[in-house]
Structure 1
Amino acid sequence: MKAFTALTATELRLLFRDPASLFFMMAFPLMLLVLKNGDGGAVPGYIAMIAAIGGMGALPGIVASYRERKVLKRLAATPISPVLLLGAQLMAQIVAGLAGSLLLVVAAITVFGADAPGNVLMLAAAFLLCSTMVCSLGFVIAAIVRNTRGANLIGMLVMFPMIFLAGAAVPRKALPDSMRRIGDYLPLTPAVEALGKAWSGTVAVFPLLILAGIIVAATAFAAALFRWE
């Protein structure tokens, strides 16, 4: 546990030293909130977007870089398992996403006068499942694409269309019917729905179950394909 905590703290420090991660997970959602005139209804989608930026935009490249630089291979010969490092990266992404989300929520409520979340516990559960789900997809990308540049590129190519089509960046009702139908099948869509329902105070179990199923399937797929070198 001590080694895992130390690894997580190190991963967090590295993450927060990256200007791109800080901008897109902290400043960018706040900028969108300002452009939306502090619309509290947009906050759940932006929370999903923050999680997706970390889990699919950043994580695949980080994990691929560890493989490319033989970090995972060297750890396999030490008492610190490579799995521990990947778990620490997962935890770091969740904590960073939580920091960005809390900053967004506090700004929406205190600066723009948005209503507070209607169901905080459900919102927390939805956030945790959303963050874990996008990270599991990030691990799948890192398992398939072995080099850093390719993993970064594929992660971005997957993440950016998804945050728009799933309703994270813009409401799905503003999209054409054909785009909405595509969004129906994207894994981020139930995350946005679960976060939105929790924000409004509604208990939505089905989207959470879908997220849990995606986590199990993506984790199993990534584990089957993943190679340490």
Structure 2
Amino acid sequence: MKAFTALAATELRLLLRDPASLFFMMVFPLMLLVLKRGDSGAVPGYIAMIVAIGGMGALPGIVASYRERKVLKRLAITPVSPLVLLGAQLVAQVAAGLAGSVVLVGAAIVVFGAKAPGNVLMLAAAFLLCSVMVCTLGFVIAAVVRNTRGASLIGMLVMFPMIFLAGAAVPRNALPAPLRQIGDFLPLTPGVEALSNAWSGTVALFPLLILAGTIVVATVVAGALFRWE
């Protein structure tokens, strides 16, 4: 447990030292919030965007780089399992997403006078499930695309359309009907719905169950396809 905690803390420090990750997970959502004039209805979507940027935009390239540099292979013959490193990366991504989300929510409430979340416990559950879900998708990408540059590129190509079509960057009702229909089948959509429901105080379990199911399926797929080298 001590090794895992140390690894997770190290992964988090490395993540927060990356200028691109720091900008897109901390600064960019605040810029969007300012452009929306503090519209509190946009906050749940921006939270989903923050975690998607980490889980699908950053994580695949990081994991692929560990495999490409033989880090995972070397760990396989040490007491620290490669799974510990991957778990530490998952925790670091969730923690970074939480930090960005806290800054965003704090700015929305303190600076723009937005109402506090209607159901904090449901919001926490939705955040955790959404964060883990996008990270498991990131692991699937890293399992399929095994070089660093390719994994980073595919992660971005998957992430950017998804945040727009799932309602994270813009409301889904502002999209044309065909694009909304595509968004219905994207795994980030129930994440946005779960966060929005919790923010408004509505209790809705179905989006949370969809997120949990996606986590299970993506974990199984990633586990079946992933190779340490």
Give TM class, smaller chain. Answer: over 0.9
Indicate the residue corresponding to 1:212 in structure 2. Answer: 212
Q: CA deviation at 1:172?
A: 0.1
Q: Which runs of 5+ in 1 are unaligned?
A: none
Percent identical residues: 84
Q: CA deviation at 1:115?
A: 0.6
How many angstroms apart in 2 are the aligned matches of 1:17 and 1:117? 30
How many angstroms apart in 2 are the aligned matches of 1:13 and 1:96? 9
After superposition, residues 97-176 of structure 1 pair within 5 angstroms as 97-176=97-176
SS of the residue corresponding to residue 168 of structure 2 reads coil
How many angstroms apart in 1 are the aligned matches of 2:165 and 2:204? 21
SS of the residue corresponding to residue 57 of structure 2 reads helix
How many angstroms apart in 2 are the aligned matches of 1:106 and 1:135? 24
How big is each residue's C-alpha offset from its partner over 1:61-103, in whole Å with a ceiling of 9 and x where there is no partner?
A: 0000000000000000100000000000000000000000000
How big is each residue's C-alpha offset from its partner over 1:114-170, in whole Å with a ceiling of 9 and x where there is no partner?
A: 010000000000000000000000000000000000000000000000000000000
How many angstroms apart in 2 are the aligned matches of 1:27 and 1:152? 21
Indicate the residue corresponding to 1:10 in structure 2. Answer: 10
Indicate the residue corresponding to 1:25 in structure 2. Answer: 25
How many angstroms apart in 2 are the aligned matches of 1:107 and 1:40? 10
How many angstroms apart in 2 are the aligned matches of 1:150 and 1:16? 22
Q: Which amino acid aligns with 2:130?
A: C
Q: Which runs of 5+ in 2 are unaligned?
A: none
How many angstroms apart in 1 are the aligned matches of 2:133 and 2:227? 21
Q: CA deviation at 1:54?
A: 0.1
Q: CA deviation at 1:219?
A: 0.2
Q: Which amino acid aligns with 1:145?
A: V
How many angstroms apart in 2 are the aligned matches of 1:5 and 1:203? 33
SS of the residue corresponding to residue 169 of structure 2 reads coil
Q: Which amino acid aligns with 2:79?
A: P
Q: Cα RMSD (Å) of the superposition?
A: 0.2
How many angstroms apart in 2 are the aligned matches of 1:46 and 1:13? 23
Q: CA deviation at 1:225?
A: 0.2
Q: In the alignment, is residue 77 of structure 1 matched against residue 77 of structure 2? A: yes
Aligned length: 229
Q: CA deviation at 1:29?
A: 0.1
Q: CA deviation at 1:113?
A: 0.4
